[in-house]
Every structure is written in structure tokens, then in C-alpha cells.
Structure 1
Amino acid sequence: MATHPIRGLDLKEHEFKVPLDHSRSESEEITVFVREVASPDSAEAPPLLFLQGGPGHESPRPTLSNPPWLRRALKDFRVFFLDQRGTGRSTPIEASDAVDPASLGSRLTHFRADAIVDDAECIRRALGFEQWSLLGQSFGGFVALCYLSRHPESIREAMFTGGLPPVGHEIDQIYEATFAAMERKSKAFFRRFPSARVGLDRALQACTAGDVVLPSGELLSARRLLTIGHLLGFSGGEQIHYLLERAPTSASFAHDIAALLPFDGRNPLYAVLHESCYADGGATRWAAERVRPPLHEDTDEITFTGEHLFRWHFDEEPGLRPFRDTALVLAEHEWPRLYDPGVLSRCEVPCAASIYGDDPFVIREFSEETARLIPTMRPWLTNEYEHGGLRTSGDRVFDRLLDLVRERVD
């Protein structure tokens, strides 16, 4: 364990050896990294495990001002930032691992929420905690719900933010709902920024003509351009509006849009495992691609896409090309259930969740349904924030959830 301070914070770095496959006693081991963060006054405070969104993203690298809710959390907790398996300083997944797609596909079946929960249990026991609190953002909430299903006795309290997942729904239903949400978001965007439609048409024409070249050298396709719609889940679309003011053949446009595209080689597991995080049983078989509404030739309406993964991502994004065949393997894998409705319906762990009214990634109606399943859940439905409310609200969302889970507010 390494220990070092940064301004206003005390940090401890932990590495743990855990089985790749928790169901096999003779499994090979991988490393999972956790960073413990405390203030000078909270070194012995109760533990809070933060579960990052994703899948496939490491935890934030903490400073006194980042993430924005951390300073508030340290008034009550020590915070443990987990680099979920395959991310950050945990044993990584690299493009070189994809030389054998079948082998890597088999390996990655052990990188979903259920395995992350088992890692967390190994860590909790190693640290000597009887229980700890959970804070799950987006996909981190999916992990937290899986944790409640598998080891409720280990959890003091659980807080979900933009991350109360569907339970028992077919993946096709989920993607149909997310496409409908993106249609609403797209219409609202063009109502707010009418001139953006002109800019989008100009950019789409340039992409179709092969005139938009990204800094890495590849051409930007029209369909890939539309994936910047994922930004509408985090804001009212200002970034898209300002981007579309620029000439699509300019260097500034190319550099800026490259930074805004949702799937790339920086975090390959975000793409490779994306659909599997919604699979509460069964195979995904490119669900977003299968259920995407058809384009209507008799209308000039355009709908952006959001967190929707398509096979062509693995052809058009250079950093994902090595993982294409692995993604094909995983799309046919029959995934086990992630959640146990029976256990959740008997839950005694205090829970609270922020549910964002028009979240295009974690659909409100599904989240409300899951909230009703859990007798101890105290949901907070709000349209004040978008999907990233935990980050954009400063400490307000965290403070509200902690008050709810401890029954200090109604």
C-alpha cells in the first residue's frame, strides 16, 4: 500500500489480487486497484465505495475539487475509488489481447457487473470492513443494484444517481426506449437551436462527400457524426450547436468532433461490453442495430444517436478495429441474470436514487419500476439535472441523496 498526500487530501493506494473467474478456485489472478481518499479529519470515517459509470471507465483521479461532490462526501466518509477490472491501474485489456478473439471473448465474460461486485467483496473483506456504503453513477448504479442482489448484508446504504437499471426487461425493449428518448432530445435541440439544422445538413453533406478528415487520418462518416447526440444526455446541446457553427472541413471542426465522439480506443471496453451491461439474461446480438427505427424518406427529420453501439463502429474507429471479432463473439454470448427480483423485493438496506426526468440512457419509466420493486428505496425524480447531475450539481445531488437515504428529508 502506497500513501501520499495531495493538497487537502490523504491518499492510500491499494492493489488486490482477485480471481479472473470467481467461480473457479484455480482461476488465474488479476490485479484490481483502489484509491482510498480521506481528509485530515476523516481518516477513520466510515467507508464509501464509489462505482464509476461506464462500462469500461476508470474512477476519477481525485483532487480537492474533483469530482465536485468529493469534498462534501469527505465530511461523512472515507471514499474508495475502484478502478473496475480492465480499467485504469487494474490489469488492463489491450488491443494486443484481441489477437485471439475467442479467447478474449471468453475472458471478457468475466468483466461485467457481477464480477465487479465479487471484486468489491474481496476488497471489503481484505480491508476488514463489516459493511460499506455505495454510491453508483450511471453504470455504477447497475453494479450497485447487482451488489444489492448478491450481497445485501455487506451494504450499509446504497445511493444511485442516473443509474437505477431496468430489471427483467428484454434488451430490445430497453433500446427501443432509448431511441425514442433520443428522438425527443433531437427535436428539442432543433427547436432550441434552429440554425443548427443548417449546420448539421452542411456537415452531413461534407461527410458523405468524404471531405471531413479526422486528425487520426480517417474519414468521418455521416452516421458517425450523428453519434455526437450522446451529448444531449448531459446538456441542452450547446456543444453541438457551437460545433455546427464551424465549417465542417476546418481543422477546428475535425479536432473538436474527434474529442466528442462516444466510442474510441481510449476505453475499448466501453464499446466491447456496452450492450452486455443491459443484458439481464440472454444474448444481445447487436440490439441497438436491430431495433433502430427506420429512416423515413418522406420526412426531413434527423435523429441523433446516443449511447448506441453499431457493428460499423469497429470498422470506422481505428482504436476499436482490433476488437471487432471479439465484439462479434460477445454479441452471441448467453449472459446470466444480473439481478434477483426476489432478493430486491425483500431488501432491508436503506436506498435512495436520483432519477432524471428525460434521461436518454437510463430511462425514467424503467428506473421508477425498479424503485417500486425495492421497499427501502427513496426515489427523487427531478428534471433539474441531466444524466451527469452528480458531477454538474457540485455537491447538491450527493447531499440530497445522503439526506434521503438517512431519512433526513421527505
Structure 2
Amino acid sequence: MNNAQPFIDAGVKYTPHYFQVPLDYSDLSQGKITVFARELSLSADGDSTKPWLVYFQGGPGFPSPRQNGNSGWVTRALQEYRVLLLDQRGTGNSSVISHQTLAHLSSEEQAQYLSHFRADNIVRDAEFIREEFGVKQWSILGQSFGGFCSLTYLSLFPESLSRSYITGGVPSISRHPDDVYHATFKRTMDKNQAFFQQFPKAQQLCKQIADHLLEHEEFLPNGQRFTVEQFQQIGINFGVSDTFLPTYYALENALIEVNGKPQLRYEFLNSMLFEQGFQTNPIYALLHESIYCQGFASNWSAHRVRQEHDAFNYDKSKPFYFTGEMVFPWMFDQYQTLQPLKQAAELIASKQDWSALYDAKQLASNKVPVSCAVYADDMFVEMDISRETLTMIPNAKAWITNEYEHNGLRADGEKILDKLIAMGEQTAATLI
């Protein structure tokens, strides 16, 4: 464990921790990588002896939040916990994965290396840290993909956990990703219809932009050609709250005339590049479908399922619809920083021997209080699938609500975490 200097801001003490962990826990000869985690505690607590709460970020492929002030869910958590914000392997200040860091590897080596960056090893990293800290048990909070990690933790190391809190992230423990994408394409269409109903002019604006892209070359500030398919992908924003109006504003000012000819404004093109988070965090594109895989290949599930939802395949004769939280093989042809990783992506999509992420037998005998916020209108994690899973896990309680979108923890985290903590205490009381 290699620790850097802590600092204090707004009454919160931030202590960075660096750990050297095995790349492959089953083969230590494969070497080590760095995993970073940031400890948060109230500065007034001094050398805190409060129990730990470990946060698992959504994604996959994005670092833990860079907390700014004592606010949101952290405010509630710090009342009774020390918080550990884990930069999952490959992200943030951990040994990062990008087109730059993978460039020296062959496609086969890239795919092999990336295969060690799923939830099972993220959880093993957390266990490594727990043992380094000498902590008997701690609590975990998983948002979105972080909830998937939570069920993996409950499967592999349940004795290490005192509580589990999950927000917008209860996956199926056995379904094929095709089932997931059939559900999410339908949810995505629901969001499209709600958007276009609220802003009737938006359909015309979207078709104007899409048709323009079919007829003219437009380039993003990084030199990448901008396409209809890329434009459609900004629909991922519809899965979080308060995004309809900003999207409409962006559409309203997308096109201008230059010397009598239509052109996309630089501001619009720049904002479209900013939307492409997988340019800087490629794990999301490379491993997104594999988070559902146990002993089978995804074979570009979202792309195949999309063909059964043909409304999303735009041409001028059709209405325009945005897509959602899906990855597609064409992304590795079009996106500048994904192009060097195309062959690795193909190998990952065809990989069949993925290890198990969940232990159904262990989950069926679960004794850890599990408290979940399940969002009824979640565009990313289907409510019915979440409910199906929770019926298999004793001592798991769900708060099902349509008050929030998928980003409820970010939008109103103090209230949500407070409710989940209370639910966990109720469950724990029944186990005494």
C-alpha cells in the first residue's frame, strides 16, 4: 500500500491510497497493476473509527466520483461511515486503460489483458484492500454497474460484508444479454416517444440533422467524421433526469447557413464530441456487453437485437429515434480512439469462456441485509429483471419508485441513501 498526503476541504478529510494488486488472482506470475482508492471522513472525527462504506461506480470503465464538498449521498454516508471511493481497475488513478496504454500490445494481448477487468476482479481488488486495512467487515454501495459488482461481492465474499446498498443496479444473474437489450430497446423507445411528444418540433429538427449527415461530410473537432449513428447515441442521456430540455436546446441551434449552404455549427459538433465518453474511457465500449456474460459470448448482442427493432435503423423514409446505453461494432470503425482496438473488441465479443460472475446457490442463502432502490422507469436496468433477481435473494428488500431516473443517487442521494440505510437496519433486526 502506497499512500500519498491527505488534505482537507469543506470539513472532509481526503486520504489517497494506492495498492499493488495482482492482474490475475489465479496466476500471480502475470504481474501487478495499481488500484487507487480515496478515503473520505469528517475532519472533525480525527482518526476515525467509524465502519467503512465502499462505493462501486457505474459504468463499466469510469472512475469513482471526484467529490466536491460535503454534499449528496456522501453527506448521509459520513454521518456513520468512512467512505472509500474505489477507482475500479483500469480507471481514474488506477492503472488506466486507454488506446494509449494498450498500443504496445497485439490485438490478442489486448483482449487477454482486458479480460481481467470485469466485476469479479474489481471485487477481488476490494477484498485485497479490506485485508490490507485489517477490516473484518464493511458495507458496500453500488450504483448501476456498481450494483452488478455488489451481487458479485455477495456471491464471492459474503462473509466480508455487513450491509449492501444498491441503486439502479440489480442485474439478472443468469440471463443472456439479448434479453437485456430487448427490454432496454423498448424502454429507449418509450423515452423517445416521451421526448418527441413534449417537443413536437424536435422530430423535424432531428431529421434535418440526420439527413444532412447522410448527404454531407461533417467532422468533429478531433477530425472524426460525425455520422447519424453517432448522433443517435446521445439518446443515452434520456436515461437520466432533466435531459429532455437541454437536448432540445442543442437541436434547435445545430444547423446554420454558410454561404447559402447548411452546415453544423462548431458549438454543436464540439458538444457532440463531448458526449462520446468512450473516447477517453474505452472499457465502456470494450467490456460493456461482457458484464452479462458467464460461459457464453455476447457476439455483439445489442447490434443483433437492434435488427429486431428496425425503427432504430434510420433512413429518410422513417421517423428519427435516438438509441440508448448500447455498444455496436461500427463504433470501432468510426470512433477515433476505438479504431486501434477493433480487433481486440471482436475477440472479446466472440469470447465464450467467461468465468461466472454470480453464485446462485450462495445468493439463495444470503444473510447480508441488501437494500435496493429500483427505478420503475429505468432505461438502463429493467425493473422486471431486477425484481426477478431479488426474488432469488433472501434478506434483500427493494424500494421500487418512479420518483427518480437511473441517476437518482446523483440527483437526490442523501434522501435515497438514508432510506436504504433504514431498510438495512430493519432487515438486520429480523436476523437477530
Q: Deviations over 1:54-90 (max 9, x none)?
A: 1111111122146x21122100100001111111111
Structure 2 CA distance for partners of 1:281 and 1:238, relative to 1, 3 Å: farther
Compare 307-316 and 274-283 and name the one that shifted more. 274-283
Code of the residue aligned with 1:393 in structure 2: it is: D
- Pick aligned residue for 2:373 from 354, 378, 387: 354
The whole-number CA distance in structure 2 between the counterparts of 1:386 and 1:78 is 27
- Pick aligned residue for 1:63 from 65, 68, 83: 68
Alignment of 1:326-341 (within 5 A): 326-334=344-352, 335-341=354-360
Q: Is 1:40 matched with 2:43?
A: yes
- Pick aligned residue for 1:243 from 247, 250, 254: 250
Match of 2:268 in 1: 253
Match of 1:141 in 2: 147
CA contact (8 A) 1:282 1:336 kept: no
CA contact (8 A) 1:213 1:220 kept: yes
Match of 1:373 in 2: 392
CA contact (8 A) 2:12 2:70 kept: no
Match of 1:285 in 2: 299
Secondary structure in 2 matching 1:395: helix
- Pick aligned residue for 2:220 from 211, 214, 228: 214
Match of 2:280 in 1: 266
- Pick aligned residue for 1:72 from 72, 76, 80: 76
Match of 1:407 in 2: 426
Code of the residue aligned with 1:338 in structure 2: it is: L
Match of 1:115 in 2: 121
Q: Deviations over 1:180-224 (max 9, x none)?
A: 111111111111111111111111112112243212122211111
Code of the residue aligned with 1:44 in structure 2: it is: T
- Report the CA distance between 1:394 and its aligned residue: 4.2
The whole-number CA distance in structure 2 between the counterparts of 1:342 and 1:264 is 35
Structure 2 CA distance for partners of 1:299 and 1:354, relative to 1, 3 Å: farther
Secondary structure in 1 matching 2:410: helix
- Report the CA distance between 1:257 and its aligned residue: 2.1
Match of 1:302 in 2: 320
Q: Deviations over 1:122-144 (max 9, x none)?
A: 10000010000000000000001
Secondary structure in 1 matching 2:310: coil
Match of 1:12 in 2: 15
User: Any stretches of 5+ residues in structure 1 without a counterpart?
Assistant: none
Match of 1:125 in 2: 131
- Report the CA distance between 1:301 and its aligned residue: 3.6
CA contact (8 A) 1:166 1:367 kept: yes
CA contact (8 A) 1:175 1:288 kept: yes
Q: Is 1:344 matched with 2:359?
A: no
What's the TM-score, normalizing by structure 1?
0.95
The whole-number CA distance in structure 2 between the counterparts of 1:394 and 1:403 is 14
Match of 1:151 in 2: 157
- Report the CA distance between 1:281 and its aligned residue: 3.2
The whole-number CA distance in structure 2 between the counterparts of 1:45 and 1:180 is 44
Secondary structure in 1 matching 2:33: strand
Match of 1:383 in 2: 402
CA contact (8 A) 1:210 1:219 kept: no
Matched length: 408
Q: Over aligned residues, Cα RMSD in angstroms?
A: 1.9
CA contact (8 A) 2:90 2:117 kept: yes
Compare 315-324 and 361-370 and name the one that shifted more. 315-324
Secondary structure in 2 matching 1:26: helix
The whole-number CA distance in structure 1 between the counterparts of 2:28 and 2:15 is 29
Match of 2:181 in 1: 175
Match of 2:91 in 1: 87
Code of the residue aligned with 1:281 in structure 2: it is: G
The whole-number CA distance in structure 1 between the counterparts of 2:249 and 2:70 is 27
Secondary structure in 1 matching 2:96: coil
The whole-number CA distance in structure 2 between the counterparts of 1:371 and 1:301 is 38
Percent identity at matched positions?
A: 39
CA contact (8 A) 2:97 2:281 kept: no
CA contact (8 A) 2:207 2:319 kept: no
Q: Deviations over 1:305-337 (max 9, x none)?
A: 111101111111112112111111111112122
Compare 82-91 and 275-284 and name the one that shifted more. 275-284
Secondary structure in 2 matching 1:385: coil
